[in-house]
Amino acid sequence: MGFSFLTQELAIDLGTANTVIFQNDQIVLDEPSIVAIENGNGKMIALGQKAKRMQERENPGIKTVRPLRDGVIADFNAAEMMIRGFIKQVNSRRRSFFTPNLKIVVGIPSGSTEVEIRAVRDSSEHAGGRDVYLIFEPMAAALGIGLDVEAPKGSMVVDIGGGTTEIAVISLGGIVKQNSIKVAGDVFTSDIQYYLKQQHNIKVGEITAEKIKIAVGAVLPDLDVEPEPFVVRGPNLMTAHPVEATITYQEIAHCLDKSISNVESAILHVLEQTPPELYSDIVENGIYLSGGGALLRGLDKRLTEKVNIPFHVAEDPLRAVARGTCIALKNTANYPFLMR
């Protein structure tokens, strides 16, 4: 490549909750996937962290939009604005007179339909991508965890993101069996909102529910290291008077139980369909957890007990997909599993 300085390479993990962009092995952007738009003219006024601060606090003239729902683009226009805005943010740090050719690798959910795949590709191209490659998220997660995806042996990854939980068995550079379910971070958050409404008569927004999830989120009623209970304040549903409740991790484990059971069934379902030779590889090496959901306290232990195969939480699970996308970007020529 003679003109390598004219080509800019970006690896984008376009997540339902967060977008992470890598450039030259470095994270250059990590922001919530959210845009704030003026109601009348559809102009973007803020994106990422700035827009998130406005979320659930906006006035009638402004609306905040999360362009991705359940891992796929739900609002095409907003998605394009967001991708373009993020790429622009990355580029504002470069001083150059011309726009470089953009080569982009984007992670997408493994259950994406043709239409959904095209939506991501179109958005990326409209945002300035000259060469756009797509990679399935569980494949990216496996690369990011450091698994040898091209080896003739089975590896299994469970990536619990914001919109979807992706479960995949990978061998010889391809996904052998996969399942993508819409039970993930967003569902856990709304489970917590519902629980507080039912049990404590408190109404809380998405943002507070997410804080509770991070502070005391757990999936087992007894943990070795117990997080401090979380004090939540909000209006009483009956009287609208301010009330506070102290939420323990045991309560969260109880209220997430049903959703986690759905994740367990999905994992078992994929294991049932896995060819026996690959199955024995998986039993030997264990199953890897990535994504924000992997941070729920006690998840690896609970899944290990349920499935009888050891589960390992990836290091820095939130960024595993982004790191893998970054590795794929460096090897676009050699990886047959990248889609153009």
State the pLDDT at residue 331.
86
161 and 173 inside one domain: yes
Sequence-distant (≥ 6) Cβ neighbours of residue 14 within 8 angstroms: 33, 68, 83, 106, 107, 108, 120
What pLDDT, in 10s, does the model give residues 172-181?
999 999 999 9
Answer yes or no: do 116 and 211 share one domain. Answer: no
pLDDT of residue 1 exceeding 50? no
Cα–Cα distance list, 118 to 83, 108, 115 (Å): 15, 11, 5
Provide CB contacts within 8 A for 95, sequence distance 6+: none
Per the CB < 8 A criterion, the answer to whether 33 and 19 are in contact is: yes
Q: Write down the pLDDT at residue 4.
A: 54
* CB 73, CB 79: distance < 8 Å: yes
| Boundary of a domain, candidates 213, 233, 255 | 255
Q: Are residues 176 and 189 in the same domain?
A: no
Residue 293 lies in a domain: yes
Could you tell me if 176 and 190 lie in one domain? Answer: no
Residue 335 resides in a domain: no
Contact at 8 Å (CB) between 271 and 154? no
Distance, CA of 16 to CA of 183 (rounded, Å):
12
Long-range contacts of 19-26 (CB under 8 A, 24+ apart): 19/48, 19/82, 19/86, 20/319, 20/321, 20/322, 21/86, 21/87, 21/90, 21/322, 22/322, 22/323, 22/325, 22/326, 22/329, 23/90, 25/326
Q: Any idea what the CATH number is for the domain that residue 212 is in?
A: 3.90.640.10
The DSSP string of 232-254 is EEEEBTTT--EEEEEEPHHHHHH
**133 and 178: one domain?**
no
| 64-101 tens-digit pLDDT | 999 998 888 888 889 989 998 998 888 876 656 556 78
Same-domain pairing of 65 and 22: yes
Distance, in Å, from the CA atom of 212 to the CA atom of 199, rounded to the nearest integer, reads 15
CA 82 to chain centre: 16
The encoded tokens of residue 126 equal 């409209």
- Say which residue the tokens 């402004």 belong to: 62
Together in a domain, 22 and 71: yes
Q: Is the pLDDT of residue 308 over 80?
A: yes
Choosing from 217, 233, 255, the residue where a domain stops is 255
* pLDDT score of 140 more than 60: yes
Number of Cβ within 10 Å of residue 182's Cβ equals: 17
> Is residue 231 predicted with pLDDT exceeding 80?
yes
Q: Can you give the pLDDT at residue 195?
A: 97
Asked if residue 196 and residue 231 are part of one domain, the reply reads: yes
Query: Average pLDDT, whole number, for the chain?
Result: 91
Which of 77-86, 97-106, 283-292 shows the highest mean pLDDT?
Answer: 283-292
Looking at the domain assignment, is residue 337 inside a domain?
no
Same domain (yes/no): 113, 229: no
**First-to-final CA distance of the chain:** 19
Q: Does any domain span residue 204?
A: yes
Mark whether 39 and 170 lie in a shared domain. no
Q: pLDDT at position 49, please?
A: 94
Tell me the CA distances in angstroms from 220 to 166, 236, 248, 302, one per residue in order.
22, 28, 12, 7
- Round to whole Å and give the CA distance between 156 and 138: 9
Helix (H, G, I), strand (E, B) or coil at 23: strand
Q: Is 60 within a domain?
A: yes
255, 283, 305 — which closes off a domain?
Answer: 255
Please check whether residue 336 lies inside any domain of the structure.
no
Domain that holds residue 250: 185-255
Closest alpha carbon to 17 in 329, 340, 295:
295
| Count of structural domains, the chain | 3
CATH number at residue 34: 3.30.420.40
Is the same domain home to 159 and 87? no
User: Looking at the structure, do residues 177 and 47 belong to the same domain, yes or no?
Assistant: no
